[in-house]
Amino acid sequence: MHLIIDGYNLLHVSRSLIHLSPTQLQREREHLVDQLSAYQKLKPCRITVVFDGWQGGWATEKREIQKGVEVIYSKLGEKADEVIKRLVKEKGSGALVITSDRDIARFAERMTVSVIPSAQFLERMELSEERFAGSLEEDGEIGTRQRGPSRRLSKKEKRAKAALKKL
């Protein structure tokens, strides 16, 4: 499984980034990469996190590996959304997109790629860390058992549920 993460979208879930200085923003990105690296050690998967570079980035797309996580900054004039869409086309159904951006989610779903909202992934990532630390003994799945035709999940919901189980 290959996770493609909308970096700033995931960062916005945990806090507002509006009034941060460039150095504070850099620290937030590094902290996110640290969290993703720790998650990758718990759940073997490839992780690519994409950040916007369209307003103050480089002339070309910047790619680097940080602590086992592929980090991509979009080039000057290109939004991270476009990079994520390109990655979804390249990776196909072997990918899982983490974003709350509706445009990206719709695009990924048209390509039959599952999408997990950023808040849900952040919750799952924190839960995995707690389990690893030994503070939780139960699975923590919340929900009711669904029965009958009126409660059947759509194909899209089934893909999302299967992807969540892998996380």
- Domain extent at residue 44: 2-166
CATH number, residue 137: 3.40.50
Total residues belonging to the chain: 167
End-to-end alpha carbon distance in the chain: 10
Contact 75, 45 (CB under 8 A): no
Per-residue pLDDT of the chain (167 residues; tens, 9 = 90+): 899 999 999 998 877 666 778 888 889 999 999 999 999 998 889 999 999 876 666 778 899 999 999 999 999 888 999 999 999 999 988 899 999 999 999 999 999 999 999 999 999 888 877 776 654 444 444 444 555 555 677 887 788 777 777 77
Q: Which of the 8 DSSP states describes residue 2?
A: E
What is the structure's pLDDT at 139?
45
- What is the C-alpha separation between 130 and 137, in angstroms, rounded? 10
Q: Quick one: angle between helices 118-133 and 22-42, nearest 10?
A: 60
Largest CA distance in the chain: 55
Q: Please give the tally of structural domains in the chain.
A: 1
Cβ neighbours around 17 below 10 Å, total: 13
